[in-house]
Amino acid sequence: MTIKLRILLIVLLLELAGYGILLAHNHHTSAQALTELRGKQIEALFAANLARIDAQTDLMERSARDLAVAGQHLFRQRPAELAVGEDAGSQALLTQHFDDFPAAIGGGLWYEPYAFSAEQRLFGPYAYRQQDRVVFSWELNSEDYNYPQQSWYLHALPADWPRDRPRPSKVYWTEPYFDEAGSKALMMTVDALMQDESGHLIGMATVDWSMEGMRRFVADMQVTPGSQSFLIDRQSGRFVNFSPDPEQVMQPARDYAWAAHALGSADSRKVGRQDTVDVQGQPHIAFYMSSKVGLIFGVLVPEAEFTAELQAMLRDKLLVGGLISLAFILLMMLMLNVLFRPFNRMLRSISHSIGHHPEDGRLQLTPLPAAGRNEFAPIIAALNEVYQEVEAYTLRLDTARRELEEGQDEIYRLNATLEAKVEERTAELETRNEQLRSTISELRAAQAQLVEAEKHLALNRLVTGVAHEINSPLGVAVTAQSLLDFKLREFRRHFEQQPLRRSELEEFLRICDETVLLLGNNLSRVADQVRSFRQISLDQSRELRRRFDVADYLRDVLLSLSGQLKQGGHEAELDCPEALVIDSYPGALSQIVTQLIGNSLLHGFQGQMQGRIRIGVRSLEDGGIELSYRDNGVGIPPEHLSQVFDPFFTTRRHEGSSGLGLHLIYTLVTRRLQGQVQCESRPGHGVRFVFVLPRLPAEAVEVKSESGLRAEPDGQPVR
């Protein structure tokens, strides 16, 4: 690419960048101005419509209150005996009221049962508009209709509300509903409560408002030619009007995400907006506002129509800007062609001044002729100086080449001596590798000794716990024996000095029975501890394979460790099916459980008043078992979880921990029992180990221990 073309390209890119920035700024400014203008137009439209809706609802509420006041006055002037059909002024009252208020389609006075007349349970005159006249009726004053149980009545005056206590509001609006009893039209009812002179609730006056006019009014709201309107009742959460799909009238509005958002955020003080609303597969913008009675009205404007003016403005600007850019590029090309002519002549002179010698092909530079007094004179002078320096460098390079050839000969001689040095260093490296292998062997032997020491340490902890458990019942047995000896000597003395009474003999026999029972219980405890400890210690020391009951064996292990658990106030729970017999290495299993409990006591229950351990065992289909161990201790941090089975890894080395406990467990599971182990933990939620121990081969496996014993197929040790 030539310099001229590069300059032209750079100018073009700079122009496009500047034009793009200017266009983006103008687009943003225009969009902002258009959005603000449209927003003000929509706010003005919604404010005017809200004023009309609120004015209509105020008229409805005022009409209901006036009718309630007239109903209270009619209640005070009621005769002592009155039957349905004797209007007592109610017909004239309702007819005149709705003649004067054509916005309502009907309404009535509905008194509490037996409130208007002690003989008549229901008293509810009703009037409704039929074409251009008001019709009075007692048809809804029947036991079949039973207006006190209608939803519009219970909405304002619930059945469980005490009638001697005022309600929070005097006026209540019902949800939109279809009038099943009369006009069958979609309507809302405003209920105004009535009270007697003492403040007791005696019923309500109702004014019915047809929603057809409101629906037509909302449907006529147009922001753009393609906009569509909607009307939602916040109280019921249902559509009252929905232009895109009229079948959605009185259906839940929350099925639409934008409608659910409008139900939660619509306000009567400002217009709400939600962008990117999907209506019948097309993106729309939703505008909405709420009236004071909870009717949310709004419009859905297609995004394409909302931004149509802005897109047209942008297209005009792009067209004009493109023509201007094209003209500017053509002008720049013409100017650059004129400006670059001296440079082209200079470049041709430079290219003709550089060549090669016809005999040896060496670089040959011809000095440039002087260009006169212009901008190229300094360049020509500088190039001539460069040519002179290049010729000098060429001579020095020839000299250096000859010296390099001589140096290569010297390198060949040095390579001969280098091979001898490499052989000498290789011999030294082999000697050091032999020393390193010896050191690794010694480290592995030391690690094996430490693992063995960890096994004996676990056994020592077991001995300490068992000794503590045995000491307590033995102490009780010794005390009981001393008491029995003392009572026996005292009884003998009484027997030799004087005749014994029956009560003294019975007391002595009672003490003997209790003491013997106490001795027997405590000695049995000692015997159980010694039996379980003997079996477990034999299994751990000899490492024999035999058949054993898993539940009984784990109970013995927990019994041997009960002293250590009780000292810290901790407890262990075993969940294992009975009669689960396996052929394996019980010593390895006891070492695993002992080491896990030791780890929980040492690391897991730090600062805990009471720890809980749960050991679960279940049988697998292949004949093996799955053993899970869980505690509720402090847990293991995530960064340490992958290293827990590594040898010598511990976070409490300063307290004397060797870091071999879990490594010993991993070795026993994977090598001795040929199983798998997995560790799960979260800080503050304890730790969980899962061991999968498969069924070992059925043939006899000879295992020699330090004591010289071996295991036969039946698991019995022999010499």
**193 found inside a domain:** no
Please count the helices (runs of H) and the strands (runs of E) in the chain.
14, 23
Task: Using alpha carbons, select from 518, 523, 524, 613 the residue that is nearest to residue 561.
Answer: 613
- Total count of domains within the chain: 1
Confidence band (pLDDT; 50, 70, 90) for 68? very high
Show the tokens assigned to 694: 């498969």
Confidence band (pLDDT; 50, 70, 90) for 616? very high
Q: What is the pLDDT of residues 389-421, one digit of tens each?
A: 887 887 788 788 778 878 887 788 788 778 777
**Residue 377 CA neighbour count, 13 Å, CB half:** 5
Q: Is residue 291 helix, strand or coil?
A: coil
Mean pLDDT value of segment 326-332: 79
**566 found inside a domain:** yes
Is the pLDDT reported for residue 157 higher than 90?
Answer: yes
**314 found inside a domain:** no
Confidence band (pLDDT; 50, 70, 90) for 436? confident
Residues 6+ apart with CB under 8 A from 672: 543, 585, 588
More confident residue, 525 or 625: 625
More confident residue, 650 or 252: 252
Place of tokens 């006249």: 133
**705 found inside a domain:** yes
Tell me phi and psi for residue 566, to 5 degrees: -70, -30
Report which secondary-structure segment, H or E, holds 171: strand 171-173
Is the pLDDT reported for residue 560 higher than 60?
Answer: yes
**19 found inside a domain:** no
- Domain residues for the domain of 696 are 543-718
Mean pLDDT value of segment 433-456: 67
Q: What is the pLDDT of residues 104-135, one digit of tens each?
A: 889 999 999 998 888 889 999 999 888 889 99
Confidence band (pLDDT; 50, 70, 90) for 469? low
**618 found inside a domain:** yes
Q: What whole-number distance in Å separates Cα of residue 564 and Cα of residue 593?
A: 13
pLDDT score recorded for residue 334: 80
Is the pLDDT reported for residue 34 higher than 80?
Answer: no
**C-alpha separations of 305 from 38, 221, 227, 243, 308 in Å:** 12, 16, 9, 17, 5
Residues 6+ apart with CB under 8 A from 666: 645, 677
Mean pLDDT value of segment 528-539: 59
- CATH for 609: 3.30.565.10
Confirm if 291 and 50 have CB atoms less than 8 A apart: yes
Q: What whole-number distance in Å separates Cα of residue 402 and Cα of residue 546?
A: 87
Is the pLDDT reported for residue 577 higher than 90?
Answer: yes
Q: Whole-number mean pLDDT of the chain?
A: 80
pLDDT score recorded for residue 82: 55
